[in-house]
Amino acid sequence: MRKTTILYGVAMAALLFVLKFIEYQFIIRDLSEEFYIGFIALLFTSLGIWIGWKLTHRPLLPQSPDFHPDATTLEALGISKREHEVLVLIAHGLSNREIAEKLFLSPHTIKSHSSSLFLKLNARRRTEAIKRAQELRILG
């Protein structure tokens, strides 16, 4: 977050420098005020979209294309397809809120799925659940 804040500050300073340079050299002399305001709005909109993307986009770790979870183990443990999806996202390091947003569920539902997974995998924490799931070959 600190790196993003510093990057944002540097980008804002560079943008201000460019705008002042353009203002004195080209735009104020030759073009109307509406064009200048539109240009600033376009730059700040683009910067806002870029910063928003950087702050919210969190790439998932690549999955091995040839890995398939052991279906018999999943069935024996009683882990549903949705619980397995939650387990995979937990393994990717997402929080309950991030998982809920990704799966279009409420955070309370994710907590319920997580608790159920912990019981079925005999784990007390996320890290234990991930380790146990990898040992059982239901996570890659």
CA angle 63, 68, 74 (to 5 degrees): 120
Q: Quick one: fold of 71-135?
A: Arc Repressor Mutant, subunit A (1.10.10)
What whole-number distance in Å separates Cα of residue 49 and Cα of residue 34? 22
Q: What is the pLDDT along the chain (140 residues), one digit of tens a residue?
A: 678 888 888 888 888 888 777 776 665 566 667 777 888 888 888 888 888 887 776 655 555 666 778 788 888 889 999 999 999 999 888 999 999 998 899 999 999 999 999 999 999 999 999 999 888 888 87
Place of tokens 């990898």: 134
Whats the size of the chain, residue-wise? 140
pTM higher than 0.75 for the full model? no
Give the 3-state secondary structure of residue 123: coil
Q: What angle do CA 76, 119, 139 make, to 5 degrees?
A: 60
> Quick check: 129 and 118 in contact, CB under 8 A?
yes
